[in-house]
Amino acid sequence: MQYVGELILIAVGAAVVNNFLLHYFVGVCPFLGVSRRVDMAFGMGCAVTFVITVAGALSWMFTYYILQEGAPLATWIYQKCSGDPTATSNLSILNYLIYIFVIASSVQLVEMYVRKFFPVLYKSFGVFLPLITTNCAILFACLMILKYVDGTTGWGIGQALTLSFFAGIGFTIAIVLMAGIREELTLCDVPKPLKGAGITLLIAGILAMAFMAFTGVDKQLGKLLTPPKPTAAEQAPTGESQDATKSIAYTTKPST
């Protein structure tokens, strides 16, 4: 139950609260380029979700078994080669190189697989696949996984998969919303200098503000999902927000 709760938290966090596009600004290039029509945006979103999940899982495996300090597989090989049973390997210098090649090859892999087995799907989003290699969102997901694999958090494959899949979903939500708005925008009289990228960025700003309203949703959800500790303090029942505009001081509430 604890595990499922953690996964749900990661999913909500990646998809809406800390949306990759509107909170971390990764993947802005396709966001500006491919958000003119809803169907194209949706295709792009699907392709990103597909690739990000595969790349996330692969990069977790590489990080966990080979790259991180004292990784089992690399250490085993290193010990066999050096003959020193206490030696540990640390290949973290190769992290970025490996990730970018994992991403490039998973893009290739996904493209070949989809073309062979799902020709219909390939027709709808196949054209976007080669563009995805240089989408920052994918590398960013790999780097997030790297950050949480080591040390105290110790993420497993489940968490890594959840994060990457829902990050893709979040990306799709944002880009489809944007495309919907931009389709309506063709009927509007936009000031000439702002046409194209300018107005898109301004709308993205408003969307980012809207997504800020999700702030704290995951924390409250976390409180619901984790069983209450016996000495836990009573939490303030009001919806909490980190928004500057909501900085109303509540009266002191005694602990129970």
Partner 1 sequence: MANDGPTPLERFVNGVIPENPVYRQLLGMCPVLAVTGSMKAAMTMAAAVAFVLICANVIVSLIRNLLQPHLRILVFTLTIATFVTIADRLLKAYMYDMSKELGPYIPLIIVNCLIIARCEVCASKQRVFTALSDAVGQSVGFALGLASMATVRELLSSGSWFGVELFWKTGTAGEQYRWGLMALAPGAFFTLGILLGAAVWIGSMCNKNKTTLEA
Partner 2 sequence: MLKYIKQGWLVIVLAACFGTALAGIHMALKDKIAANQLDAINTQIPLLIPGADAAKTQLDEPLTKQLGMEVRKGINSEGKLVGWVLRASGSGYADKIELLIGLDKTATKIMGIAVIEQQETPCLGSKITDSSWNDQYDDQPTATELVVLKGMSPEQKLIKDGKINAITGATISSDAVTSIVNDAVTKAKPALLAELKKDK
Contact letters for partner 2, residues 142-161 (x by CB under 8 A): -----xx--xxx--------
Contact letters for partner 2, residues 43-82 (x by CB under 8 A): ----------------------------------------
Cα–Cα distances (Å) from 235 to 5, 68, 170, 215, 249, in that order, read 19, 39, 29, 17, 15
Measured distance CA(77)–CA(61) in Å, rounded: 16
Q: How far is the CB of 119 from partner 2 (least distance, A)?
A: 30
- Which partner, partner 2, partner 1, none, binds residue 29 by CB below 5 to 8 Å per kind? partner 1
Measured distance CA(161)–CA(207) in Å, rounded: 26
Name the DSSP letter for residue 130: G
Measured in whole angstroms, the distance separating CA 89 from the mean position of its chain's CA atoms is 29
Whose structure tokens read 């300090």?
A: 69
- Which partner, partner 1, partner 2, none, binds residue 152 by CB below 5 to 8 Å per kind? partner 2
Judged by beta carbon, residue 8 or residue 66, the one nearer partner 1 is 66
Stretch that binds partner 2, among 58-66, 113-121, 192-200, 248-256 (CB under 8 A): 248-256
For position 224 contacting partner 2 by CB under 8 A, the verdict is no
Residues 6+ apart with CB under 8 A from 177: 207
Measured from the Cβ of residue 106, the count of other Cβ atoms closer than 10 Å reads 23
Q: How far is the CB of 55 from partner 1 (least distance, A)?
A: 12
Measured distance CA(67)–CA(150) in Å, rounded: 11
For position 18 contacting partner 2 by CB under 8 A, the verdict is yes
- Which residues bind to partner 1, rule: CB under 8 A? 22-29, 32, 93-97, 99-101, 104, 133-136, 138-140, 143-144, 147, 191-194, 197-202, 204-206, 208-209, 212, 244
